[in-house]
Structure 1
């Protein structure tokens, strides 16, 4: 019995049909299915790949950089209540003219604060006084706390604090907005963080001139010592009169020059904040992936958000501008690089977010809404999605298991239609599953291998100035590795029993199962970023359901149309997400230290992005003839890009835009013996190198004869005999270049022994000191063998946990306006009463980081020899080693 219409689904009654007839029908269906499995011409395959590349450049790139038009002051009448970017831009220019604003320097302690107070008074004069009250407080605060193996001591650092309240409000729960006014030495700080300072000023103005009141008071904190280890934020949250009432914080930072601000930290455990972000923010840009990368310590930065979270504890949102991170903490971070449109983008978002949270019912009792972490992300900047972590677990597990289930149904369907044994299909699936595992390994392995080769050839960071090179050196190898095993198998081992279209489906099923298993494992391990895998699986699951519910599953390659169409959304989102993350990470490779190979991190991100965004699409090249030619095209592309990286285009650095960072100090050193005599005095340049290339590129223009690696020469000397400044953990990799003439310091750093008191019959001794010098001072304390440090003037935590904090103990002292000498003591216990022998070593460093501090002529000449592609955050410094 034959069915007359071979293109329709066979509907055969069991009546009068023999088993022989059924075998005949199945055989004919199998033959018909194989005839319909004709691969398309190979050149369509090239067009297929180019179409996705075109989609990336036509949609992902424009939306990644999309900004609203900046509102002008003249348009304010037409659009009342909206953020006015032009006014913020004018204020930003005024701050930019002040130059670097280092804690303890006049620009930061006087000029910027006079500017802020003046602008606040202007806002007060425009405020709707019938509705609002505005209070201003200037805080001078001192204190200390532990961070990163370092005791941070501060005196007289400043905060300008404004509280805006509605007169009809009786709420004691405040919303805190924070940004900082200070900069790194030598940096102009237009993006970090003057950008957010002027945004806060305009938000304050808009809130105070509005006719709409709000439930909860808003505290605007302009803090003056963030770059010096987050000091002013600590002083506010631990000591200010309004701090205890601050229930939520919006922390505003800068890690670049404008652009869109990314939400990269939230809560913790306050997902209601995500609801307000979703409902209010006009231009969302956020991802759980950024949060987990940042909190894993892969980003060489920190923000005041840590202080509010740990010492408040105050939950909140941490946002930062990230565009053009190459100028971050350099003198090139200027007003001219920041567009009015980027100010409008951040202003719109922060103003809307402020209005939403200061009217939130949750603010009355935030702890009652502490309900776990959340998963959050934006889609191409068009809208924002969030859900509870528990919901994320359910989604991840459901669609992962659903993906595995739909694969099983598909294989069963193939067996029924093709008349092949289930065991035959299961065996084929097992082979493709192993090939999928191999594809995953190669997709990660090839880019990592490239990173190792580039590092071995001293060609790391070739993408630093030309990020498009990543396409050839990491993305193409990842795609090659992903499709190579299955393509070779399909090409070199034809299967007569199962048609090619089915085998290609089975190959995709193998990828789906591997991705589902990974999703399940990562979900169990509590990685919230696992939602990225879930998105890819979800759309494949949906596409397969459509194919199975229709006849497309069994009609040649028509199923591939649904798969391809279903992958448009995940491709757009996942490529957008990883493009954004990689764009943030690339500038950071220039300041991530010497030891890790930065190419490995970038290669991993490129591989992960390639697998997730193109994992279900890349195998479809096997639907075209000669798929090996397409792989060959990828190999050729990779080869061409590799050749380009060997040219001047692959040189990482560019002057002004993509600079090499070489932090340095001009150091005068003095070593005093136990008898108080000066045993050695010398000078030199202490170079703290910040990327993988070390000093090699500097040889082009600099005379580095006698350059020494500190770890090779310091021996047992206290802190290697250098005034390391929060870089002490990497002091062994620092470089020392001797100079013959002494460094001339702007003024001396003076340590005085005021008193020595012997206690407990000579077993305990207390030393009283007085220290004066520049606004940034350091102490390094190392008791001698058989001596224990019992007490000191500073926070006792480091001494209470002696097993955690090993000598030499490090103390960083920073002052703002209070430059009076610092009195302190050390109390030590000696195992014997022989005080005629040394008890402890004390290193003292002074850092003259102010831009107004004089550099001597030799230092200026040395700095001029830096290549034009290098930038040095530099200052004079002193170091003295004393033995008591």
Structure 2
């Protein structure tokens, strides 16, 4: 078979002269060839990805730099306050007091000859639609600190924002205590350094983000400083430790990316991440959207992204945060704040609204930025150059082989078809594996053992890339065109595919097309160098330039995909059971493999017996499948480091009152909203007793909002996968709660007005669903949501949160009915009272204690009552 592969005609050109094995290396060098690229990844990409600067100590305080040690001390104090849920004493009193103490001290230490520092503690109330919910809030606290040049009259401010509240049951050291102390230290350094700033800076410490970004909405729509804020730096987290990534910029203000390039100390950014984030693939959001939507303020959105396993869990503690990570973020924040506070563009940001930016860093060493228009030109030029050089190469092959160009083109078309098949298989085989694993209930096997991704998805992708072209070379019998030329045709085919992808994706308006252009550009460079020398026609000598040229594309492509895998792997544990996140990881691994190895894998045919490499990849895949399915390595969860998120509403008591006031239904139980694909299956064989648990999908067809106290939009989105575990013993809720009908008034012949008074805990939901012949024509809430209701069968959902102000909520609802008959049922109204932070009774505590050590339980008591009016 090897003789057939290397057989050449004696009439072939010089490079096709018959030699033993056509100058191919021994088969065992192929393994070393692939290992080289693997070692390159682990020796360069991984160390640079996790590289952090040396943390500054108090001994460096006189250098006027960010001091990680001081920030770390503040973080220790803030995180030790504990869970800071909006409405709790920890959030509304203790956290506020801590921040006020720090900013007051900074005010005292401020260089008063250079700066004016003003502190404003305010409460905000309001509402806005978000996803399927209308967010309504009152008494949310904001601490705004304005640092301005002495006697400044400037009306252009820079806004810097983060939040100090937390999700239930987490000390929130990273999300976002980390950013709060970073802001404090940045404020301290600027205020105490004799370095002028041109524009005032507003540091906003907001106390209600986790509900759905309410406090930032309140600031940007109500605060007296908000109209003067012209750009924002938003700091948040979806992980803990490591570097902070820029994942949103602008929009349509490329000068911000230019400022990032100019001032950033430790670049880490990708506009591809921005596009992925804005597609909704990442199950998170940030205050950045509020400033963009309601304040029309452009800016930079940055956050922690590594170790997302601890995000929103009890394990988000200061222990998992290295001081070097604080130094990295602090260096970046301080430099960017100073830079933007002196940016001339801030005077008139609208004049610089000139389109989107393409941006990305290379291994954290250098930051690339250019406008979208420049990116389009670059993409088209590189694609065009690739096609032109390929045509020149084909002409050279025809001349050297003494055949017509048409003859070479015919073979090129055949090779092109083979390469397209390889490309498709390289993308498809990992997806097939992901589907197969999921169908056998083996999702997330890589969750705690990321190295399994190599065997499960990378190796199948390499098999797909290499198998068709290897079979082709073992069967082809062309004696007029040499094997080395055939191999070049395969690489040309890969270039054509990338050129077509780059131009198509660019034409569709995606800035992420640069991921195809980078490997294509360096292939064009190597092809140009080969064409300018005799290497193009000298056997496999052209491979030297090719291999060298692909080092940078390999490093970047593998680095980029590694970023996404690190960020998105933990998200598989909190994306809901309806989402098969294995597909995302499989696609990422496949895309990364195709981009990193697309020009390299065909080169295994420069070695003897390339089929050995394919068998080795098959063996690795088989071994990985075995380990994932039959050993503990494939079990997704580990205590403390990568636990299973178990979210349920404990001691749910549902009471249904009919139109005449009689209680028609009274049930108690536990409502489970499973956060990942495996749902309850990991508890089989453990002490957790889930006997009797049923899905609530059938309830969703009979009752408003499934007849359950769906907590927020995530519960609503995942309602069809939620499950109910009934319990026989009813339990009273911790505090007194009440919905009181204050009045029912006939407004006119077709309209009736109901007024209500609602009291209860800091987190409540109101559900309203009119009957068929009734329209909710007016209410006391935001009208935008009323006029654009969620799609059927969802009802109106008003999610109400209060902070420091716990006064009752008074609201009205007006119903319109054409026949004016208001003595019949008009609408259903459900209220759920969520007692976050309260413990359950003995029975519920027993259930909680039965969960395995790898379970991260999030639960609280709820009362739900449905009325008909």
Counterpart CA distance in 1 for 2:195 and 2:801 is 42
Q: Residue 668 of structure 1 corresponds to which residue in structure 2?
A: 653
Quote the offset at 1:94 in angstroms.
0.4
Tell me the distance in 2 between the aligned counterparts of 1:34 and 1:401: 36
* Displacement after TM superposition at 1:808 (Å): 1.3
Per-residue CA deviation, residues 221-274 of structure 1 (Å, 9 max, x unaligned), is 000000011000000000000000000000000111121011000000100011
Equivalences for residues 106-121 of structure 1 within 5 A: 106-121=89-104
CA distance in 2, matches of 1:764, 1:485: 71
Query: How far apart in 2 are the matches of 1:32 and 1:760?
Result: 99
* Aligned equivalent of 1:495: 478
Q: What residue number does 1:345 align with?
A: 328
The match for 1:659 is 643
Inter-partner Cα distance in structure 2 for 1:620 and 1:27: 21
Is 1:703–2:686 an aligned residue pair? no
Aligned to 2:751: 764
TM-score (norm 1): 0.95
The equivalent position to 2:803 in structure 1, one of 816, 819, 835, is 816
- In the alignment, the residues of structure 2 paired with residue 731 and residue 310 of structure 1 have an alpha-carbon distance, to the nearest angstrom, of 28
**TM-aligned CA deviation for residue 798 of structure 1:** 2.2
SS of residue in 2 equivalent to 1:581:
helix
* SS class of match (2:209): coil
Query: How far apart are the structure 1 equivalents of 2:247 and 2:20?
Result: 53
Specify the alignment match of 2:395 in structure 1.
412
CA distance in 2, matches of 1:729, 1:580: 28
1:295 partnered with 2:278? yes
User: Counterpart of 2:52?
Assistant: 67
Deviation at 1:96, TM superposition (A): 1.2
Pick closer, same or farther for the CA change 1:807–1:496 going to 2, 3 Å. Answer: closer
The answer to whether the 8 A contact 2:639-2:855 is kept is: yes
CA spacing shift, 1:131–1:489, aligned 2, 3 Å = same
Alpha-carbon distance in 2 for matches of 1:668, 1:577: 48
Q: 1:52 is matched with which residue? A: 37
2:732 equivalent in structure 1: 744
Find out whether 1:825 has 2:808 as its counterpart: no
Q: CA RMSD in A?
A: 1.5
CA gap of 1:660–1:27, structure 2 versus 1, over 3 A, is closer
> Are residues 1:285 and 2:268 paired?
yes
CA distance in 1, matches of 2:449, 2:330: 30
Structure 2 residue aligned with 1:514: 497
Three-state SS of the structure 2 residue aligned to 1:332 is coil
The SS at the match of 1:872 is strand
Give 1:501 deviation, angstroms. Answer: 1.0
What are the equivalent positions in structure 2 for 1:537-686 lying under 5 Å apart? 537-646=520-629, 647-666=631-650, 667-686=652-671
Unaligned runs of 5+ in 1: 1-23
Q: Which has the higher mean CA deviation after the structures are superposed, 26-35 or 808-817?
A: 26-35
What are the superposed Cα offsets for residues 280-311 of structure 1, whole Å, 9 maximum, x if unpaired? 11110000111010000100000000000000
The separation in 2 between residues aligned to 1:217 and 1:146, in whole angstroms, is 31
Partner SS for 1:812: strand
The 5 Å alignment of 1:96-175 reads: 96-167=79-150, 169-175=152-158
2:709 match: secondary structure: coil
Per the alignment, in what secondary structure is the counterpart of residue 248 of structure 1? Answer: strand
Question: Secondary structure of the residue that 2:840 maps to in structure 1?
Answer: coil
Change over 3 Å in CA distance of 1:379–1:839 after alignment to 2: same
* Partners of 2:306 and 2:567 within 8 A in 1: yes
Contact 2:642 2:854 survives alignment (8 Å): yes
CA distance in 2, matches of 1:751, 1:457: 47
Separation in 1 of the partners of 2:156 and 2:730? 57
Aligned with residue 878 of structure 1, among 854, 863, 869? 863
Moved more, 738-747 or 107-116: 738-747
Give the Cα–Cα distance (whole angstroms) in 2 for the partners of residues 803 and 648 of structure 1: 44
For the residues of structure 2 that align with 1:249 and 1:675, how far apart are their CA atoms? 54
| 2:779 counterpart residue number | 792
- Give the Cα–Cα distance (whole angstroms) in 1 for the partners of residues 578 and 717 of structure 2: 12
* 1:778 alignment partner, one of 757, 765, 786: 765
Partners of 2:271 and 2:512 within 8 A in 1: yes
1:515 aligns to what SS in structure 2?
helix
Cα deviation for residue 493 of structure 1 reads: 2.2
Q: Secondary structure at the match of 2:434?
A: helix
Task: Give the conservation status (yes or no) of the 8 Å contact 1:744–1:856.
Answer: no
Shift of 1:636: 1.0
Structure 2 unaligned blocks of 5 or more: 1-8
In structure 1, what is the equivalent of residue 674 of structure 2? Answer: 689
* Conserved 8 A contact 1:30-1:418: no
The DSSP-based 3-state class of the residue aligned with 1:76 is: helix
What CA distance in whole angstroms lies between the structure 1 residues aligned with 2:304 and 2:855?
24
Q: CA 1:863–1:46 in 2, change beyond 3 Å: closer, same or farther?
A: same
Q: Distance in 2 between matches of 1:184 and 1:483?
A: 48
Distance between the aligned counterparts of 1:530 and 1:582, measured in 2? 19
